[in-house]
């Protein structure tokens, strides 16, 4: 249970960071879209 809580905290902090930082959010979205295109 402790590991699950740590993982959820990490995800929440990462999401909060991306919500505040527009440049990082766009960079991550571009990387994910590129990955999705390469998988097709």
Q: Output the pTM of the full model.
A: 0.57
Residue 36: predicted pLDDT: 87
Span 3-40, pLDDT tens digits: 999 999 999 999 998 889 989 889 988 998 998 888 77
More confident residue, 1 or 33: 33
Residue whose token pair is 């998988």: 39
31 vs 1: CA distance, rounded Å: 31
Tokens 């990955």 — which residue? Answer: 35
Contact 25, 19 (CB under 8 A): yes
Distance CA 13, CA 6 (A): 11
């Amino acid at each position: 249970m402790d590991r699950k809580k740590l993982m959820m905290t990490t995800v929440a902090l990462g999401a909060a960071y991306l919500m505040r930082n527009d440049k990082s959010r766009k960079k991550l979205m571009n990387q994910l879209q590129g990955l999705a295109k390469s998988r097709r």
